[in-house]
Amino acid sequence: MNKQKNLNPELKLAETLAAERQAAMARRPSRDEAEQAIRTLIRWAGDDPDREGLTGTPERVVRAYGEYFAGYHDDPVEILQRTFEEVEGYDEMVLLRDIRFESHCEHHMAPIIGKAHIAYLPNHRVVGISKLARLVEVYAKRLQIQEKMTAQIANTIQEVLQPLGVAVVIEASHQCMTTRGVHKPGAALATSRMLGAFRKSAATRREFLAMIRGGGND
């Protein structure tokens, strides 16, 4: 029991995510069951899954789903674990902006397409910038709502890197409202999560927002 209490946040998060992945994989149906489900949806839509143009569709859709939702098989903690401490005392903001992503909403399974901006204030160590982009991909390649995805990215960086602060802003278009429902093309949702110094300091927050807004002027 004492050993469990002494686990660092990074290890606790890794164990929680590993347990969730194992539980999900145990419930996962076979490829054949998935293809049969697609055939059922084709029939429900009013078409014949056995006609020439649709015979290969169930297999293709299942294969596509493997790409769309590959994030369930990746470990976000592991992605951030390799860090660099030889930074010559650098303690200013690290910002990666305009990280394009494609996700799917968990309510209608319709595409969410947008970009993420991530910043953190190092506390003696930094992570390779490609790892930040990969972290976005891991959470994007799952059934999502944008608010949850924003929090997941920020919380994972905070717990693994233990920086002085983290800021995440996501801007995205949701096809569940642009191509169906209220049909409002051009509408975009913006979400943010500020932790540590970005939440406590208005000046730090303003600097971050000014830097991401200036991205379109380069």
* Catalytic annotation, residues: 105-108, 146, 174, 176
Report yes or no: 156 and 193 within 8 Å, Cβ to Cβ: no
Q: Which of 72, 77, 83, 74 is nearest to 13 (CA)?
A: 77
Report d(CA 43, CA 49) in Å as an integer.
7
C-alpha separations of 117 from 1, 30, 61, 64, 165 in Å: 39, 37, 31, 27, 14
Report d(CA 97, CA 117) in Å as an integer.
4
> Does residue 121 sit in helix, strand or coil?
strand
